[in-house]
Amino acid sequence: MTILAVFRSRAQALDCVSRLREAGVPAQLVSTPREAEVGCGVSVKFEEAFLPRARALLQKRKYSSFSGWMKRTERGFFYL
């Protein structure tokens, strides 16, 4: 399943995707879905198998614009 790390700051999302890639997580920037209700946010997309590694990285970095984790299902995205 697809996971999104939702950000309100493009700069922090770019930093996050770069650091995830350095940690071996295949990640990419995507537009945040409407279900997130954060306006023009940017999200970092990756597969669920990498969620523990991504959580650890985000806890260390303490991104101020991080809005939460979303998971894709058949009915769309929802917050974890």
| Domains parsed from the chain with CATH numbers | 2-79 (3.30.70)
Q: What's the pTM? A: 0.92
Distance CA 63, CA 61 (A): 6
Residue reference for tokens 């995707």: 17
- Length of the chain equals 80
Query: What pLDDT was estimated at residue 26?
Result: 98
> How do the pLDDT tens digits run along the chain, 80 residues long?
999 999 999 999 999 999 999 999 999 999 999 888 887 789 999 999 999 999 999 999 999 999 999 999 998 899 99
* 23-62 b/e (C-beta count within 10 Å ≥ 16 → b): eebebeeeebbeebebeebbbbbbeeebbeebeebbeeee
Distance CA 75, CA 67 (A): 21
